[in-house]
């Protein structure tokens, strides 16, 4: 749950806003939100006195972890929750421990925390997709009627209008928004299973706890834990890669259109060369291709992580942590780069780069 | 559109039924069905006389291509449709040529032909998923109450019942069936675009032709071509890999359960060793792991093929042809292997392999 | 050990010669050669009477397996050697069984058989690489002095000569040939380990048996088995992908050069379109890009198969069988396609497609 | 050229030492070293007065870039060198500009800078591999004679000694060290090509400049630029993945050996569970599996980046930047984790976890 790219590379092919949402600080906040929601749910469902639960939740919400120590201990435990809970226990008076993590397992906290971040990021991605749709509509309005020689298999085919190619860029973005609507209810789910995922540790109140906790967090509550069924995350990965792949196609087209001799796109403000002052490189278009390939490659890793042996696989879970955040950042970066690229379009269609 | 594995390897990790549906012979039949449906649609929508259209469609349906010559010419053209159409033109009298492929492009024929095969294969996969669900229910009825030590991160955790682990195998299979329902309407679509995908070659009758042709083929008719938007195929690939990944998890579990010293699964009829007569290898369980990893790896290739530059990318399209059929076969193989593996289960739960 | 593509797809993106060398029939021959060499080595090192060993080896060499039955049983055993050995035992008189497979394990036979095929294929690939080098030299002699506008980041940069770009195509092919020399001694090794890879089943004669057997087969004899160390196969996969990647770069360049408006390559005999009679598609160039991406994707699978748990992993080994043969075929196909593409070059350099 | 993992995730599956060597600050230092070495080479080969060259080199070496502004401008230029050179030009008096970057291109600076980092990292990795070899030798001395039941295809096979399995862990590590010796001379090469890679900008002094510059930097000087031939980086990626794959096999073995019921490894100081106080999770062993799969997946990306169209591909180059640093960090992490895991071994062999 952390950023992948930093410094100039983040500026080139990363996304500071997405990375911030996935930062360690925010991820720990998400985990604390989950712990607090659990404490409250214990109170509201009568497992512990409600006032005590509320007091615990507030103490959790205000807690500021010692991140250096947490990282050090996470190296041994393989994840941040055990040391985080130890820090919480040391900080909160023993009388509050009844409502603190008791019955939960690390995976409940980590997975639900991740889902909270995903919920926010999907809002961001959807908004950016919508913005791109508007930009494409505006380009169609300006340049849609311009003639364009269609090219199939890299060869001139038949004359079309520029709107025909713009439609090729719009279609998959609309489709990805529709897929997002279908994905959300499968993905934005509370994880609540307890040590071995059976909810046995919550007794008869399990369902009520789950519903209350989910409502508190703005998530849906499935009837069981999904701890070893990572398919919603694999599906999310596929969606991210479909988004970047769709934008990679658009970037590839624009890089081809901006070639001297083809000249069907004029782009403002491309990249400078350190050696050739006359060049204006279609950097944004190229980076869309890089990010598309990056996500296509990463997707394999998320699918490998489906193989969650027995009741919890540390090997598969850790792989997921390494793969998913960079994919999210790459997706944000591609959406941002695509907006800037469309903004830079000065002319489209045959002769666009002439006169 | 052809099988990936043959001989003993097909028997070990392939699926003859799926391979047969994807055979060259069947794929050419599918293409001819598309050409015939197009001829009929031209007649029914009044583009050509209906009797002539019907006569053309019948002649197409009866045509048997010279596959050796077709392959030879496909090597140059990069695909089978141009030589297939040349063979058809040589075989059908010129007066029928008006209703023969005129206005279509190779991609309309290839893509729609592929969709016809996918439609059949998804029926098969859904039935097999249903069968596995029944097998798992039966196993739960027999062994669900047996005690099992849950294992998290490869270590004994807490006692559960065998039904808890069986539930981990069932859950994702149910989820994949639900995803299939969502996928079908996005995938089982006629491709009709003409040379550059704009439907310009069909004139004002384009929509009527598309609707008529789709109805004839049992597909849905989208309002435009999807020639460069391959996201439904990428999504299909993700679904296939989610299926094999879910079965890989089950296979991994059973391989671990069948270990001496763990002994929570007794499997009949495993594989023989050429050197150690006492061994019974959990071959089916291992192969589920192999197929899961195979599909996870391939999926990257399908997503790379999203980058369909301009109006048609030979590079991306060819990559799709190389990747998708083996994924379909691997999925069929995993479903078949999983059924055999569950059939071979003789006992589950602590002490299953003892006395 | 079997071909991946058939029919028109094999013609487009496969390689019949490589596929034939990897056919089931040839692979079983290779396994029988290994069994025969082992029998002879037992005789020559005094483990069994030499005449009996020779008689056994000859009987093995003449044996024709029942492939249908073998495939059927391989489905259960997970590999072909156990049923092959059963067939051999049934066919050879019991007095020869002493020199028949006794002490060997399936993996010795399969892995060494694979190495025999690889040895032949590397000879073929090296010859084809050499042929491409000659073709490039000839193109340089014809067109090397032609002016060319260098293009960096898809944009016109500075004028160079055509020989500068041809050098970019030659350099990696020369490098891959050098890498092949380094790879061979690590790869072309006898596998001999016995049931658990320790050579314990061969007693004190193990080294002598290994040396004799390796000499008989034209391989090197390592001091121990390499049964769980698959890194030479992973390295081979990397080499195959470097070859196809290098050719993919050349194909990509030629596809860009053949664009209308760029026109720095004129290619004869491209692919026909079923809809646009005027088009000549650079099909061969595109397919080089497809095959490069195909192998790049597959390579992950070979590296995943490095994870060979304990003394033998059926899961990893099966994955290797599914991945490596298609990579070999794709490499052969790329080498063949590249030769045809260079053969089709009619002119290179600025203005090549003009006048 | 930047770290991939931060915070607790870096502690779990990253490597602070490797990440530091790849930090933006160090990478910019490397680029300045390249610029300074070039200035000196211009002086020593008589292109500019030697004193002026030396003065320029010293000014470059002392320059501290404004990293925030650099990142901002890199977003547009697609890489850090153009803004870095602009900053240098603004900082150095015009009379020194003759020896400042004149004739170089961004790629010369970036690629050579990367090679400087790789040179250091390979020293580190080799030392760690050597350390693991010593640890394995020590374990063999302590536990080599202990009995162990060999397991093939997840099933008990035949009794061996613990040293036989330790040998399976050592063998590939020794092999990777040998491969490293072969890789270095292909990888640790100066990049010097000028704007379009032909060295045309350096005139007749090109070779002398290259030799002088390479000597200054401790690298070899190839006769030509390797700007579009990325195969040495793909080969490096394969080596990294072979290292992590070899360690993943060892981790997988130890995770299986530490299972209750198998009990052939006793590991100290495993990870704690937040819910089950009795558990000691073999976290380090699992993470070796995760890192092996991570690198196997990434490797595809490096091979896709071989497709460097024309004289420079921004798309392929950017992809390389996104993929290679995380692979290097994952490799460092696996080497570090493996050392800690072997350090934690308390007993090996049958009964290791008993009494």
Closest CA to A296 of D326, B244, B298, C323: B298
Residue C270: per-residue pLDDT = 73
Chains in touch with B (≥3 Cβ pairs < 8 A): A, C, D
CA distance B322 to B302: 9
**What mean pLDDT comes out for the span D306-331?**
97
Segment A148-159 shows an average pLDDT of 97
Q: Determine, yes or no, domain membership for B322.
A: yes
Supply the DSSP symbol for B48.
S
Top residue of D16, D23, D24, D78 to mutate, by most chain A CBs within 10 Å, is D78
Is residue C159, in this structure, part of any structural domain at all?
A: yes
The continuous run of DSSP H or E covering D147 comes out as strand D147-152
Closest CA to C346 of C269, C287, C278: C269
Cβ neighbours of B155 in D, within 8 Å: 258-260, 279-282
Q: Identify whether C1 is part of a domain.
A: no
Interface test with D, best of C230, C253, C306, C330 (most D CBs within 10 A): C306
Average confidence (pLDDT) over B107-124:
98
Dig out the tokens for C225 from the structure: 């088995």
Candidate list A165, A312, A337, A353, residue with the active-site label: A312
Instruction: Identify each DSSP E strand in chain A by its residue range.
Output: 147-152, 155-161, 265-267, 345-348
Question: Quick check: C154 and A286 CB within 8 A?
Answer: yes
pLDDT value at residue A275: 77
- Beta strand segments in A192-351, E: 265-267, 345-348
Q: In sequence order, what E strands does D271-315 have?
A: none
Q: What is the nearest CA distance from D305 to chain A, expressed in angstroms?
A: 9
Instruction: Decide if D300 touches B, using CB distance below 8 A.
Output: yes
Nearest CA-CA distance, residue A38 and chain C, Å: 39
Residue B47 is given by DSSP the state S
Is position C353 within any domain?
no
Interface of D with C in 232-271 (CB under 8 A): 232, 234-235, 237-238, 241-242, 245-246, 248-249, 252-253, 256
- C-beta separation of D118 from D236 below 8 A: yes
Question: Which two structure tokens, joined as six digits, stand for A304?
Answer: 């490998």
Nearest to B312 among A152, A182, A234 (CB): A152
Confidence band of B187 (pLDDT split at 50, 70, 90): very high
| B13: nearest CB among C7, C104, C318 | C318
Q: Is B8 on the interface with C (CB under 8 A)?
A: yes
**Chain D residues inside the 8 Å CB shell of B256:** 154, 259
Interface touch C76/B300, C-beta < 8 Å: no
Q: How many helices (H) and strands (E) does chain D have?
A: 12, 4
Residue D154 tokens read as 């997840």
Q: Is the minimum CB–CB distance between C201 and chain A shorter than 8 Å? A: no
Within an 8 Å CB–CB cutoff, is residue C122 touching chain A?
no
Nearest Cβ partner for C296 among D165, D167, D304: D304
Query: CA B227 → CA B192, B222, D47, distances in Å?
Result: 8, 12, 57
State the smallest CA–CA distance between residue D251 and chain C in angstroms: 9
Task: Tell me which chain A residues have a C-beta less than 8 angstroms from the C-beta of B150.
Answer: 195-198, 310-311
Q: Which of B171, B248, B297 has its CB closest to that of A306?
A: B248
Polymer length in residues for chain A: 355
Q: How far apart are CA C35 and CA C28, in angstroms?
A: 11
| Average pLDDT score over chain C | 95
The residue range of the domain holding D149 is 7-348
Is C2 a member of any domain? no
Per the structure, the count of domains in chain C is: 1
Q: Judge: C297–B323 Cβ closer than 8 Å, yes or no.
A: yes
- The mean pLDDT value for B111-121 works out to 98
Residue scoring higher pLDDT (B145 or A5): B145
Give the mean pLDDT of D137-160.
Answer: 97
Cβ separation of B297 and A299 shorter than 8 Å?
A: no
Name residue, tokens 């006793």.
D266
Is-contact B307 A289, C-beta < 8 A?
Answer: yes
Query: Is the CB of residue C282 less than 8 Å from the CB of residue C258?
Result: yes
The answer to whether D265 touches D337, Cβ cutoff 8 Å, is: no
Cβ–Cβ gap C249/D172 under 8 Å? no
Write out the two tokens for B212: 């008529």
Contacts C289 to D, Cβ<8 Å: 307
Contact A262 C262 (CB under 8 A): yes
pLDDT tens digit sequence for C329-339: 999 999 999 99
Do B207 and B223 meet the contact criterion of CB atoms below 8 Å apart? yes
Question: pLDDT at position D354, please?
Answer: 72
| Two structure tokens written together for B181 | 């329902």
Q: Which of B142, B211, B293, B312 is catalytic?
A: B312
Is a pLDDT exceeding 60 seen at residue A2? no
pLDDT value at position A355? 47
| B 334-353 residues inside an 8 A Cβ radius of A | none
**Average model confidence (pLDDT) across chain B:** 95
Which chains have 3+ CB pairs within 8 A of A?
B, C, D
pLDDT at B1: 35
Scan for tokens 């996005």, then name that residue.
B186
B133 close contact with D: CB closer than 8 A = no
CA-nearest residue to C158 within chain D is D196
Residue B74 maps to which CATH number?
1.20.200.10
Is A301 inside any structural domain? Answer: yes
Pairwise CA distance, residues B7 & B337, whole Å: 17
- Backbone φ and ψ of D353, nearest 5°: -95, 0
- Residues of B whose CB is below 8 A from A289: 307
Interface membership of A231 toward D (CB under 8 Å):
no
Q: How far is CA A49 from CA A40, A45, A46, C220, D270, in A?
A: 10, 9, 6, 76, 36
- For residue D144, give every residue at least 6 positions away whose Cβ sits within 8 Å of its Cβ, in sequence order, or none: D161, D162, D163, D166
**Minimal Cβ distance to C309: which of D78, D167, D249:** D249
**SS3 state at D113:** helix
Residue B1 lies in a domain: no
Spell out which residues of chain D touch residue B255, defining contact as CB-CB under 8 Å: 154
Distance CA C171, CA D32 (A): 29
pLDDT for the residue C279: 79
Residue in chain D closest to B263 (alpha carbons) equals D261
Report chain C residues whose CB lies below 8 A from the CB of B274: 81-82, 85, 101, 104-106, 109
Question: Sorting pLDDT into bands at 50, 70 and 90, what band is D278?
Answer: confident
Site from D155, D158, D288, D289 to mutate, B interface, most B CB atoms within 10 angstroms: D155
CB pairs under 8 A between B and C: 226
Q: pLDDT (tens digit, 9 = 90+) per residue, D118-129?
A: 999 999 999 999
- Alpha-carbon gap, residue A249 to A265, rounded angstroms: 15
Check if the beta carbon of residue B303 is closer than 8 Å to that of residue B227. Answer: no
Opening angle at CA D263, ends D260 and D267, nearest 5: 95
Residue D353 lies in a domain: no
Does C313 touch chain B if contact means CB atoms closer than 8 Å? yes
Please name every residue paired with D265 in a beta bridge, in sequence order, or none if there are none.
D348
Beta bridge partners of C347: C266
List, for residues C49-107, the tens digit of each pLDDT value.
999 999 999 999 999 999 999 999 999 999 999 999 999 999 999 999 999 999 999 99
To 5 degrees, how large is the angle CA C344–CA C348–CA C353? 85
Q: Is the pLDDT of residue C3 over 70?
A: no
| Residue A277 confidence (pLDDT) above 90 | no
Residue B227 predicted with pLDDT over 90: yes
Which residues of D participate in catalysis according to the annotation?
273, 312
pLDDT tens figures, B233-284: 999 999 999 999 999 999 999 999 999 999 999 999 877 777 777 778 899 9
The pLDDT tens digits for A17-58 are 999 999 999 999 999 999 999 999 999 999 999 999 999 999
- Amino acid C2: pLDDT: 38
Query: Tokens standing for B227?
Result: 């020639």
Query: Is the CB of B109 less than 8 angstroms away from the CB of C195?
Result: no
* Chain A contact probe: residue of D5, D7, D225, D261 with most A CBs at under 10 A: D7
- Chain B contacts of D281, Cβ < 8 Å? 152-155
- Tell whether A45 is within 8 A of chain B (Cβ): no
Give the per-residue pLDDT at D5. 59
Q: Which residues of B touch D273 (CB under 8 A)?
A: 152-153, 157
* Minimal CA separation from A253 to chain B, in Å: 6
pLDDT of D306 reads 98
Give strand pairing partners of B161.
Answer: B147
Percent of chain D with pLDDT over 70: 98
Contact in structure between A300 and D297 (CB atoms under 8 Å): yes
Q: What angle do CA A132, A136, A139 make, to 5 degrees?
A: 140
| Residue among D153, D258, D304 minimizing CB distance to B154 | D258
pLDDT (tens digit per residue) in A95-134? 999 999 999 999 999 999 999 999 999 999 999 999 999 9
Q: In this complex, is the C-beta atom of C78 within 8 Å of any C-beta atom belonging to chain D?
A: yes
């Amino acid at each position: 749950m952390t950023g992948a790219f930093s410094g100039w590379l983040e500026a080139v092919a990363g996304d500071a806003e997405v990375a911030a949402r996935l930062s360690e600080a925010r991820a720990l906040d998400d985990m604390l939100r989950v712990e607090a929601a659990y404490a409250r749910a214990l109170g509201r469902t009568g497992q512990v006195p409600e006032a005590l639960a509320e007091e615990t939740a507030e103490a959790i919400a205000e807690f500021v972890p010692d991140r250096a120590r947490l990282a050090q201990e996470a190296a041994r435990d393989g994840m941040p929750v055990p040391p985080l809970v130890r820090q919480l226990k040391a900080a909160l008076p023993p009388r509050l421990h009844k409502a603190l993590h008791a019955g939960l397992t690390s995976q409940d906290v980590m997975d639900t925390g991740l889902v909270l971040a995903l919920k926010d990021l999907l809002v961001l991605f959807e908004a950016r997709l919508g913005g791109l749709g508007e930009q494409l509509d505006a380009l169609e309005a300006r340049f849609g009627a311009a003639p364009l020689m269609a090219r199939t298999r890299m060869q001139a085919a038949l004359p079309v209008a520029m709107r025909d190619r713009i439609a090729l860029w719009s279609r998959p973005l609309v489709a990805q928004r529709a897929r997002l609507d279908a994905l959300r209810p499968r993905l934005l789910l509370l994880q609540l299973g307890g040590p071995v995922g059976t909810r046995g540790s919550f007794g008869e109140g399990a369902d009520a706890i789950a519903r209350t906790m989910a409502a508190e967090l703005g998530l849906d509550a499935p009837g069981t834990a999904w701890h070893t069924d990572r398919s919603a995350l694999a599906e999310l990965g596929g969606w991210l890669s479909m988004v970047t792949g769709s934008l990679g196609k658009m970037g590839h087209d624009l890089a081809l259109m901006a070639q001297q001799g083809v000249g069907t796109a004029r782009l403002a403000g491309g990249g400078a060369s350190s050696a050739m002052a006359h060049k204006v490189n279609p950097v944004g278009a190229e980076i869309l291709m890089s990010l598309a390939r990056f996500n296509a490659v990463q997707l394999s890793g998320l699918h490998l992580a489906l193989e969650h042996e027995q009741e919890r696989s540390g090997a598969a879970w850790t792989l997921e942590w390494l793969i998913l955040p960079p994919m999210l950042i790459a997706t944000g970066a591609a959406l941002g780069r695509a907006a800037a690229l469309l903004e830079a379009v000065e002319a489209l269609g045959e002769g666009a780069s002439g006169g």
